[in-house]
Amino acid sequence: MDLLMVLEYTAPDQSGVLSSIMSIMIGKDLHPFKIARCDWWKNGIDTMDWCMAIRQLEECSVATRGRCVDNLKTLLAFLDHEDVMVAYATKEKLWKVLSSGRTAETNALVTSSAAWRREASGFRLQLLRQLSTVKDEREGDSDEKEDQSRCIEEFPYLEAVVENLKQVGTMVRSILTPERRFEEDDECLTTESAPYSVHLEVEWRSQVELSEQMIFFVEEVFVAMDYESQSKFVTCAVLELVGNFQGLMKVWKDQSQDDEDDSLTIVYSKWIEKCLVWLMRSSCTNSALRLLNGMGSSIVASEEAFISQSSRYPFLQQWMLCISRVGVACLESSHIMEKCAVKELQVPYLPEGTKLWSQLQLPSRQQLFEVLTEQDDVMIEVLNGLTLMTALLDGTTNFLSHWYPAFTAHMTTEYDPDLLFAELVDTLGRDHLVVLDLLVSNETIMLEYVMRYLRRLGTHWKFSVQKLQTVERLEVVMSVLIRLRLEIDRLVASDLFPYSAGPLTRRLLAIERLYEERGDDVGQL
């Protein structure tokens, strides 16, 4: 669930946010409109016989394609039908009609009203979400447009945030910050027009402005939120927003490296600092660690408030994913600054009362996999992030090693890359075919993770062998890697492997040779 939908559920009386989602359709050959619950809804439709409703629904659907405004209004009214099947069928019909681009040409089909949100069916929100992510299939096939499409697809709901950022910002602060209002700032943060392009490929000045607004949200809103007493789906939305925006900012920063103006690089560094402050000072990490270690108290939101309503894992998965993304960005920035002899990242000041999280037991490997196993893409990204963080910590004197030795010690021991990979092999049933499925899947970054680990394994071969032998996993890991390489070779020979496997198989063969030649070296360790 994205942040905009959370805001709609949390504050149904707020207006102006859904219209920002609708405005996304302007650039997609769909005409902007607003779905609302108005006087024409009270026409007895929700008491209509089911068969009659379905018949009229079909008639209106056909008539709407002929640009009939009245029939479109009737279709919109059916979204609130008392029969859930009629409402669902309406949503599907509307989706087909509206995404076809053949609706009536009008800019204000229905007057906006905030009242409907208190009673609106979930199908309205589903339709809005579908429309907000619709893509124009008639766009050209140029590489530039494909790259842009992939960028937008990677950060789906940020389109709406970018489109009407300042209006959403006022809502975020007024809804999620209890007993705090920022009246003096509201004037400068509210605008009637959308200040940003719907596309994420915006000019660098807009990127800087957007980044500064997000920094403000983190510092003034997200740090102050009470994560322990609110519904966890709200916390998940905040974690997803911060994690995704971190990825977006990194893309922007990398694209601007050749520019003379380093404004975005400076803002990126500030963003990392504020994210670090948020993770250390807010109650979000406290709540996550309490749940992980079975220390949940009455003030921690009940599991019924979690996304799945039966598991705390969705919240913990988003927390771990956000931690890994911010951690990697923080260490990479610190590493670059050390090389360039630039002032390093500022270490956030932590009052005594906020150090509880650092005193709690950080997640063990077993807890890590217990939480992440059911979500392959999140699990692999977190493992890849932890492996990269460990590599960045090796042999450096970054500020985390200096100020938080307990954290770095946990990273380099409990989250040792060799032990994490061995644990992953066990989690996947020691089956090389499962590893292969993840490697060829476009839903995970398994290839990047495996290549990163194999490079590290080859570089630290003797020490890695020693660690894997200590936990009796060396033979298991090597058996999976050897069988994996043989299976990839078989698929490549049959022209069935989906991409060039050369770099991967060469790396696997290098590890096999080290394993076969270890001989007396292993005995001397």
State the SS3 of 369-396: HHHHCCCHHHHHHHHHHHHHHHHHHCCC
Among 104, 133, 162, which residue terminates a domain?
A: 133
In a domain, 223, yes or no: no
Q: Which of 29, 36, 176, 60 is nearest to 112 (CA)?
A: 36
Which residues form the domain of 58? 31-133
In a domain, 492, yes or no: yes
Using alpha carbons, list the distances in angstroms from residue 19 to 26, 128, 153, 213, 245: 11, 10, 21, 20, 22
pLDDT of residue 454: 96
pLDDT of residue 106: 32
pLDDT of residue 269: 86
In a domain, 252, yes or no: no
Residues 6+ apart with CB under 8 A from 138: 29
In a domain, 352, yes or no: no
Residue 412: CB atoms within 10 A of its CB come to 15
**Which amino acid is residue 422, in one-letter code?**
A
Residues 6+ apart with CB under 8 A from 380: 438, 444, 445, 446, 449
Torsion, Cα of 511, 517, 522, 525 (10° steps): -80
Can you list the positions of beta strands (E) in 268-350? Answer: none
Q: Which of 88, 114, 118 is nearest to 9 (CA)?
A: 118
Cα–chain-centroid distance for residue 362?
A: 22
In a domain, 490, yes or no: yes
For residues 303 and 311, is the Cβ–Cβ distance under 8 A?
Answer: yes
Residue found by looking up tokens 């910002």 in the block? 169
Residue 63: CB atoms within 10 A of its CB come to 16
In a domain, 504, yes or no: yes
pLDDT of residue 290: 80
For residues 221 and 181, is the Cβ–Cβ distance under 8 A?
Answer: no
By CB atoms closer than 10 A (0-12, 13-18, 19+), residue 439 is buried
From first to last of its 525 residues, the chain has per-residue pLDDT tens of: 445 554 444 444 333 433 433 343 333 333 333 333 333 333 444 444 545 555 565 666 555 555 555 666 676 677 666 666 677 777 777 666 665 554 443 333 333 334 433 344 455 545 544 554 444 333 344 444 444 444 444 444 445 555 555 555 555 555 444 444 333 333 333 323 333 233 344 455 677 877 888 888 888 888 888 887 766 767 887 888 888 888 888 888 887 766 666 778 888 888 988 888 888 888 888 888 888 877 444 344 444 444 444 456 788 888 899 889 988 888 888 766 655 554 544 554 444 444 444 555 678 898 899 999 888 999 999 999 999 988 888 755 555 555 566 667 777 788 999 999 999 999 999 999 999 999 999 889 999 999 999 999 999 999 999 999 999 999 999 999 999 999 999 999 999 999 899 999 999 999 999 999 875 454 444
Among 115, 133, 151, which residue terminates a domain?
A: 133
3-state secondary structure of 177: coil
pLDDT of residue 45: 42
In a domain, 385, yes or no: no
Number of domains in the chain: 2
Q: How far apart are CA 1 and CA 233, in angstroms?
A: 7
Among 116, 133, 150, which residue terminates a domain?
A: 133
Residue found by looking up tokens 């601007």 in the block? 256
Q: How far apart are CA 27 and CA 463, in angstroms?
A: 56
In a domain, 261, yes or no: no
pLDDT of residue 463: 93
Sign of the Cα torsion 489, 495, 496, 498 reads: positive
Q: How far apart are CA 427 and CA 368, in angstroms?
A: 11
pLDDT of residue 455: 95
H or E segment and range at residue 284:
helix 283-292
Using alpha carbons, list the distances in angstroms from residue 209 to 150, 196, 241, 260, 267: 23, 10, 17, 18, 9
